[in-house]
Amino acid sequence: MSEIGKVIRLGRILGRGGRTVILALDHGVEHGPSDFPERVLDAKVIVREAVRGGASAIMMHKGLAIRTREEWAGKIPLILKITGRTALAPDESAVQSVVGSVEEAVALGADGVAATVYVGSADEPLMLREFGALVGKCMEFGMPLLALMYPRGPKIRDRHGVEYVRYAARLGGELGADVVKTYYTGSAETFREVVKAAQAPVVAAGGPKLNTAREALEMVKSVMEAGAIGVAIGRNVWASADPIGMLNAIKRIVFQGQSVDEALEEVKAF
C-alpha cells in the first residue's frame, strides 16, 4: 500500500511529464543568513514567490515549513530537508546530521524528504548507515526520497569532477533514492555521464549565485540536454533581481525545451 502513496506524492513533485523545478530553501542552515539579500531575509517572501512562480516543489527544513505554512500548504508540494550541518563546522568533519524524520514529514503534509550524503567524507560510514535506515522508512511510509549526493572528502580533488560526481550519483541510485540531486559538472557532455550512471532520475544543484541570468539559464539548458529531469535551484532564483521571471524562464527550458534566448524573455531584470 505504501507504494501507492509514493507514486502519488512523487507525481506531485514530478509533474508535466516527469520533470521538475524545485526551489531550494535550506541555505539558512547550510550557509547562514548571509546568503539572503535583505529583501528575502523573511522566508515567507521566498515561499510566496515559489508559489506565484509555479515552482514544482519547495525544499526546506521543518522550522521554516511550520512558520511559512500559510504560504505553501495546499499550494505547492513540500520536500522536507531532514539532514543538516553549518558552515561553521570544520571541513575535515564534513558530516550531515539527521535533524528530522519521515514521521515529521508525514505530520507536516510533505510530499517528499531530502537528505545529504557527503561521499568520500571521513564520516561517510555514519551517513550511509543513516541513509540506509531512511530508505527503509521512506518505503514504509510511501515517502519519496531526494538524495543530495555530494563528493566531499580528503581524496576528492575536484568536487565537480565528473568521475567523483557520477560515483556519488550512482551510490544514491543503488541505495534506493527516488531522485538524485548532485553537482553540475560544467558541461552537458560530462553531466550526461552522471545521468547515465545514476540509475535514478537526476536533478542538478543550482550551485553558487552566478553573475547573470543568462549564465544560470545556460547551466539549466546544459543540464536538460544531458538528460536530467530538472533542477533544484535556490540562490540563482530568490537572490536574483527578478525571482518570478527567473522561475518562469527556468520552467520554459525544463518543461518546454526552449532556448536560453527564448527563456530570457521572461526575465525583466538581469
| Nearest residue to 201 via CA among 241, 165, 172, 237 | 172
Tens digit of each residue's pLDDT (9 = 90 or more) over 234-267: 999 999 999 999 999 999 999 999 999 999 999 9
pLDDT tens track for 151-193? 999 889 999 999 999 999 999 999 999 999 999 999 999 999 9
**Catalytic residue from among 6, 81, 181, 221:** 181
The predicted pLDDT at position 270 comes to 56
6: closest CA among 146, 100, 123, 122?
146
**Could you tell me the domains of the chain?**
2-263 (3.20.20.70)
Helix, strand or coil, per DSSP, at residue 186:
coil
HEC readout, 59-121: EECHHHHHHCHHHHCCCCCEEEECEECCCCCCHHHCCCEECCCHHHHHHHCCCEEEEEEEECC
Residue 269 has pLDDT above 70, yes or no: no
pLDDT at residue number 1: 59
63-83 per-position pLDDT tens digit: 999 999 999 999 999 999 999
Annotation says 137 is catalytic: no
User: How far is the CA of 60 from the CAs of 129, 173, 258, in angstroms?
Assistant: 23, 22, 29
pLDDT at 92 over 90: no
**Mean pLDDT (whole number) for 77-91:** 92
Per DSSP, 40 falls in state G
Instruction: Report the percentage of the chain scoring pLDDT > 90.
Output: 89
What is this structure's pTM?
Answer: 0.96
Pairing mode of beta strands 145-151, 230-233: unpaired
